[in-house]
């Protein structure tokens, strides 16, 4: 099965600064790479995803970069805002596998 690690486990940034979370996975067959945001007491919400035929994808202040050779992908949040405070999970997904293997999560705190 997929072994997923996220770093760092906690991240505190000043409002307006950037935040980067890295996700390392073990299964080279993985070809779908989503990031989920979970606010306290709420559902995980898909915020961005990337497929293995592209190296980078951007959506406003959020971007994901993928390095398949090194088996890691990263979430980048620019111009952070207090509402970005949440737990972020990566969940790489191999073809033919039907389950998401979640990382342990990164708690992001944006200081006003």
The residue range among 18-26, 40-48, 63-71, 76-84 that interacts with other proteins, by the rule CB under 8 A, is 40-48
Query: Does position 5 bind other proteins by CB under 8 A?
Result: no
Query: Does position 73 bind other proteins by CB under 8 A?
Result: no
Of 64, 72, 92, 105, the one binding other proteins by CB under 8 A: 105
Of 62, 78, 100, 109, the one binding other proteins by CB under 8 A: 100
Query: Does position 93 bind other proteins by CB under 8 A?
Result: yes
Query: Does position 29 bind other proteins by CB under 8 A?
Result: no
CB atoms within 10 A of CB 88: 23
Kind of pairing, strands 62-67 and 56-59? antiparallel
| Cis peptide, bond prior to residue 38, ω within 30 of zero | no
As a whole number of angstroms, the distance between CA 107 and CA 104 comes to 10
Query: Does position 92 bind other proteins by CB under 8 A?
Result: no
Is the Cα dihedral 52, 72, 91, 65 positive or negative? negative
């Amino acid at each position: 099965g997929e072994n997923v690690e996220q770093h760092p486990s906690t991240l505190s940034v000043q409002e307006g600064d950037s935040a980067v979370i890295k996700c390392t996975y073990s299964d080279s067959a993985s070809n779908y790479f989503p990031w989920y945001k979970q606010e306290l007491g709420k559902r995980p919400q898909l915020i961005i995803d990337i497929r293995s035929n592209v190296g980078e994808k951007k959506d406003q202040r959020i971007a994901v970069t993928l390095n398949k050779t090194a088996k890691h992908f990263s979430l980048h949040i620019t111009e952070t805002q207090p509402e970005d405070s949440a737990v972020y999970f990566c969940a790489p997904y191999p073809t033919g596998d039907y389950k998401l293997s979640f990382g342990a999560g990164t708690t992001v705190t944006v200081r006003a």
